[in-house]
Structure 1
Amino acid sequence: MSFPDPIAVFRTEAAELLEQIEAGLLDLNHDLADKEQVDAVFRGLHTLKGSGAMFGFEALAAFTHHCETAFDQVRKGIVPATHDLVTAVLNATDHMRALIETPDGDHGAMSETLLGRLRTAVAAAGLPEAPAPAAAAPATAQDAPVAASGLTTYRIHFSLPVNAMANGTNPVGLLNELRDLGACTIRADRSRVPALDDLVATDLHVCWDIELATEAPRSAIEDVFIFVMDEMELSVEPVGAPEDARAAPAAAAPQAPAREEAIMPAPVASAPPVAATAAPRAAPAPLPEARQAKSAENVRVPAERLDELMDRVGELVIAQSRLSQLANASADLQLRAVSEDVERLSGELRDTMMVLRMVPVAQLFSRFRRLVHDLAIETGKKIELITEGETTEVDKSVVERLADPLVHLVRNSCDHGLETPEERLAQGKPAAGRIFLSARQQAGEVIITIKDDGRGISRDHVRAKAESSGLIAPNAALSDQELLQLIFQPGFSTAQQVTNLSGRGVGMDVVKRTIDALRGTINVVSHTGEGSEISLAIPLTLAIIDGLLVRVGSGRYVIPLSAVEECLELSIEEDMRSRGRSFISLRDSLVPFIRLRDLFMTGTKPDPFQKVVVISTGAERVGLVVDQIIGDHQTVIKGMSKLHHDVATFSGATILGDGGVALILDVGHLVTAGQQQEAQLRAAG
Structure 2
Amino acid sequence: MNIDQVMITFIAESRELLEQMENALLAVAHDGPEAVNAIFRAAHTIKGSAGMFGLDAVVEFTHVAESVLDKVRDGAVPVSDELVTLLLSCADHIGALVDAVEAGTLEGDTVLPAAGAPLVAALQGYLEGGVSVAAKAAVPMPAHAVSEAEQWHISLRFGADVLRNGMDPLSFIRYLGQMGRITGIATLTDGLPGADEFDPESCYLGFEIGFHSSADKAAIDSVFDFVRDDCQIRILAPHSKITEYIAWLDELPEQRERLGEMLVRCGSITAHELEQALAAQSAAGAAGGEVVPIGTILVDQGAVRAPVVEAALVKQRQAPEAKPQQENRSVRVDADKLDRLINLVGELIIAGAGANLVARRTQIPELLECTSTLSDLVEEVRDSALQLRMVKIGATFNRFGRVVHDVSRELGKDIRLQVSGEDAELDKTVVEKIGDPLTHLVRNAMDHGIEPVDVRAARGKPAQGTVALNAYHDSGSIVIEVSDDGGGLKRERILAKAVERGLVEPGRTLTDKEIFGLIFEPGFSTAEQVTNLSGRGVGMDVVKRNIVALRGSVEIASTEGVGTTVTVRLPLTLAIINGFQVGVGKSVFVIPMDMVEECIEFREADHAHADYVDLRGQPLPFVRLRERFALHGAAARRQSIVVVRYGSRKAGLVVDTLLGEFQTVIKPLGKVFSGARFLSGSSILGNGDVALILDMAALLNGVEADGQAAA
**TM-score interval for Structure 1 and Structure 2 normalised by the shorter chain:** 0.7 to 0.9
Could you tell me which residue of structure 1 aligns to residue 146 of structure 2?
A: 151
Could you tell me which residue of structure 2 aligns to residue 102 of structure 1?
A: 100
| C-alpha displacement of 1:82 | 2.3
1:620 aligns with 2:649: yes
Distance across 2 between alignment mates of 1:171 and 1:238: 28
| C-alpha displacement of 1:133 | 6.7
Distance across 1 between alignment mates of 2:634 and 2:298: 92
| C-alpha displacement of 1:660 | 1.5
Distance across 2 between alignment mates of 1:409 and 1:325: 47
Could you tell me which residue of structure 2 aligns to residue 395 of structure 1?
A: 427
Asked whether the equivalents of residues 477 and 569 of structure 2 are also in contact (C-alpha less than 8 Å), the reply is yes
Residue deviations 1:542-579 (CA, integer Å, cap 9, x gap): 1111111011111111011222233232213124243x
Distance across 1 between alignment mates of 2:689 and 2:400: 45
| C-alpha displacement of 1:430 | 1.0
Distance across 1 between alignment mates of 2:684 and 2:189: 65
1:596 aligns with 2:592: no
| C-alpha displacement of 1:102 | 2.6
Could you tell me which residue of structure 2 aligns to residue 236 of structure 1?
A: 237
Aligned to 1:592, the other structure's residue is in SS state: strand
Correspondences of 1:631-670 after superposition (within 5 Å): 631-670=660-699
Distance across 1 between alignment mates of 2:44 and 2:169: 16
Aligned to 1:61, the other structure's residue is in SS state: helix
Structure 1 letter corresponding to 2:375: E
Asked whether the equivalents of residues 64 and 123 of structure 2 are also in contact (C-alpha less than 8 Å), the reply is no
Could you tell me which residue of structure 2 aligns to residue 537 of structure 1?
A: 569
Asked whether the equivalents of residues 97 and 112 of structure 2 are also in contact (C-alpha less than 8 Å), the reply is no
Could you tell me which residue of structure 1 aligns to residue 390 of structure 2?
A: 358
Structure 2 letter corresponding to 1:537: R
- Aligned match of 1:39 in 37, 40, 43? 37
The structure-2 alpha-carbon separation of the partners of 1:466 and 1:74, relative to structure 1 and needing over 3 Å to count, comes to: same
Asked whether the equivalents of residues 52 and 172 of structure 2 are also in contact (C-alpha less than 8 Å), the reply is no
Could you tell me which residue of structure 2 aligns to residue 210 of structure 1?
A: 209
Correspondences of 1:171-570 after superposition (within 5 Å): 175-180=173-178, 181-185=181-185, 209-212=208-211, 214=212, 216=213, 218-219=214-215, 223-225=219-221, 234-238=235-239, 280-281=300-301, 297-570=329-602
The structure-2 alpha-carbon separation of the partners of 1:574 and 1:234, relative to structure 1 and needing over 3 Å to count, comes to: farther
| C-alpha displacement of 1:521 | 2.0
The structure-2 alpha-carbon separation of the partners of 1:306 and 1:134, relative to structure 1 and needing over 3 Å to count, comes to: farther
Aligned to 1:102, the other structure's residue is in SS state: helix
Query: What are structure 2's unaligned runs of at least 5 residues?
Result: 192-202, 246-295, 304-325
Structure 2 letter corresponding to 1:236: A
Distance across 1 between alignment mates of 2:386 and 2:167: 34
Distance across 2 between alignment mates of 1:576 and 1:280: 93
Asked whether the equivalents of residues 188 and 208 of structure 1 are also in contact (C-alpha less than 8 Å), the reply is yes
Distance across 2 between alignment mates of 1:607 and 1:159: 86
Residue deviations 1:619-665 (CA, integer Å, cap 9, x gap): 33333221111111211101111222121321111111222210111
- Aligned match of 1:93 in 82, 91, 94? 91
Distance across 1 between alignment mates of 2:618 and 2:348: 44
Could you tell me which residue of structure 2 aligns to residue 54 of structure 1?
A: 52
Greater fraction helix: 2
Distance across 1 between alignment mates of 2:332 and 2:175: 30
- Count of residue pairs brought into register by the alignment: 610
Residue deviations 1:197-237 (CA, integer Å, cap 9, x gap): xxxxxxx9x9975333x4x5x447764347899x9974312
Asked whether the equivalents of residues 483 and 563 of structure 2 are also in contact (C-alpha less than 8 Å), the reply is yes
Asked whether the equivalents of residues 145 and 182 of structure 1 are also in contact (C-alpha less than 8 Å), the reply is no
The structure-2 alpha-carbon separation of the partners of 1:240 and 1:346, relative to structure 1 and needing over 3 Å to count, comes to: closer
Correspondences of 1:10-29 after superposition (within 5 Å): 10-28=10-28
The structure-2 alpha-carbon separation of the partners of 1:468 and 1:241, relative to structure 1 and needing over 3 Å to count, comes to: closer
| C-alpha displacement of 1:533 | 1.3
Asked whether the equivalents of residues 548 and 632 of structure 1 are also in contact (C-alpha less than 8 Å), the reply is yes
Asked whether the equivalents of residues 551 and 627 of structure 1 are also in contact (C-alpha less than 8 Å), the reply is yes
Residue deviations 1:524-554 (CA, integer Å, cap 9, x gap): 2212221111221111111111111011111
Asked whether the equivalents of residues 146 and 182 of structure 1 are also in contact (C-alpha less than 8 Å), the reply is no
1:6 aligns with 2:35: no
Residue deviations 1:124-149 (CA, integer Å, cap 9, x gap): x57432539789xxx9xxx7723253
Residue deviations 1:320-340 (CA, integer Å, cap 9, x gap): 222222223333322122112
Instruction: Say which is worse superposed, 547-556 or 178-187, in terms of deviation.
Output: 178-187
The structure-2 alpha-carbon separation of the partners of 1:489 and 1:220, relative to structure 1 and needing over 3 Å to count, comes to: same
Asked whether the equivalents of residues 520 and 537 of structure 1 are also in contact (C-alpha less than 8 Å), the reply is yes
Structure 2 letter corresponding to 1:74: V
Structure 2 letter corresponding to 1:495: A
Could you tell me which residue of structure 2 aligns to residue 252 of structure 1?
A: none
The structure-2 alpha-carbon separation of the partners of 1:446 and 1:190, relative to structure 1 and needing over 3 Å to count, comes to: farther
The structure-2 alpha-carbon separation of the partners of 1:418 and 1:296, relative to structure 1 and needing over 3 Å to count, comes to: closer
Residue deviations 1:81-135 (CA, integer Å, cap 9, x gap): 2221211110122222222223426975665565435534653x57432539789
Query: What are structure 1's unaligned runs of at least 5 residues?
Result: 192-203, 245-275, 284-293
| C-alpha displacement of 1:12 | 1.6
Structure 1 letter corresponding to 2:575: A
| C-alpha displacement of 1:310 | 0.4
Asked whether the equivalents of residues 182 and 210 of structure 2 are also in contact (C-alpha less than 8 Å), the reply is no
Structure 2 letter corresponding to 1:156: H
The structure-2 alpha-carbon separation of the partners of 1:489 and 1:132, relative to structure 1 and needing over 3 Å to count, comes to: farther
1:119 aligns with 2:117: no
| C-alpha displacement of 1:394 | 0.7
Could you tell me which residue of structure 1 aligns to residue 129 of structure 2?
A: 128
The structure-2 alpha-carbon separation of the partners of 1:508 and 1:107, relative to structure 1 and needing over 3 Å to count, comes to: farther
Structure 2 letter corresponding to 1:88: L
Note the aligned Cα RMSD (angstroms): 3.8
Distance across 2 between alignment mates of 1:221 and 1:322: 62
Structure 2 letter corresponding to 1:224: I
Could you tell me which residue of structure 1 aligns to residue 252 of structure 2?
A: none
Aligned to 2:238, the other structure's residue is in SS state: strand
Structure 1 letter corresponding to 2:710: L
Structure 2 letter corresponding to 1:91: S
Residue deviations 1:412-470 (CA, integer Å, cap 9, x gap): 11111111122112211111011111111223111111111111111112111211222
Aligned to 2:503, the other structure's residue is in SS state: coil
Aligned to 1:329, the other structure's residue is in SS state: helix
The structure-2 alpha-carbon separation of the partners of 1:208 and 1:571, relative to structure 1 and needing over 3 Å to count, comes to: farther
Structure 1 letter corresponding to 2:209: I
Taking structure 2 as the reference length, what is the TM-score of the superposition?
0.78
Correspondences of 1:67-86 after superposition (within 5 Å): 67-86=65-84
Taking structure 1 as the reference length, what is the TM-score of the superposition?
0.81
Structure 2 letter corresponding to 1:27: A
Distance across 2 between alignment mates of 1:611 and 1:343: 28
